[in-house]
Amino acid sequence: MGNLKQNIIKNIAQELDCGCDCYLNVKTDEVIAIPRNIYVSDHDDFTKAFEEDFTRIENNKTDFIKFDVLESYESFKIMELFVHQLTDQNLKAELGNVLENKKPFQNFKNKIDQSHFRQDWFDFKQREIEKKVATELKISKARAQK
C-alpha cells in the first residue's frame, strides 16, 4: 500500500508542478489532472476535451480530493527553502539576491538553469510538493473520518 500511495503522491506533485489541478478518487486511487491556466481560443473545446473528467468528478464529488496548483507564494517559499539549504555560498548569495528583486521566478529559473544545481533544484522542488500533497491527503482523510 505504501508504495502505491507514494507513486500517487509523486504523480499528483508532478501534475501540480506542470500547472494542473488534480483530483484523487480516494476509493479507486484514480488521479484526474486538469490544466489550470490553459489558453484556449474556444472555451467550449476545453470543456469538451475534459467533459468526461468533469462529469466523473461531479457525479462522485464525495470520493474526490482536490489538490490545487501551487499559489505563487507557495512556489516562492520552496525557492527560499532551496536557497537556504545550499552549501555553495556564491550561488546562495546570487539566488538570495534574485529573490529580493523584480521578476524573482524568471530570474531564479535563469540562474538555476545555468548552474550545476539544476537537477538538485528539480529534485528539491518535487520533494517539497510531494510533502504538501501528503499533508493535504492526511488532512482530507482525517476530515472524511469525522
pLDDT for 112-123, tens place per residue? 999 999 999 999
Q: What is the pLDDT of residue 101?
A: 96
Q: How confident is the model at residue 141 (pLDDT cuts 50, 70, 90)?
A: confident
**Where are the chain's structural domains?**
2-69, 72-125
**What number is the average pLDDT over the span 27-51?**
79
**What number is the average pLDDT over the span 7-32?**
94
Q: How confident is the model at residue 1 (pLDDT cuts 50, 70, 90)?
A: very low
Q: How confident is the model at residue 16 (pLDDT cuts 50, 70, 90)?
A: very high
> Which residues, 6+ apart, have CB-to-CB distance to 13 below 8 Å?
126, 129, 130, 132, 133
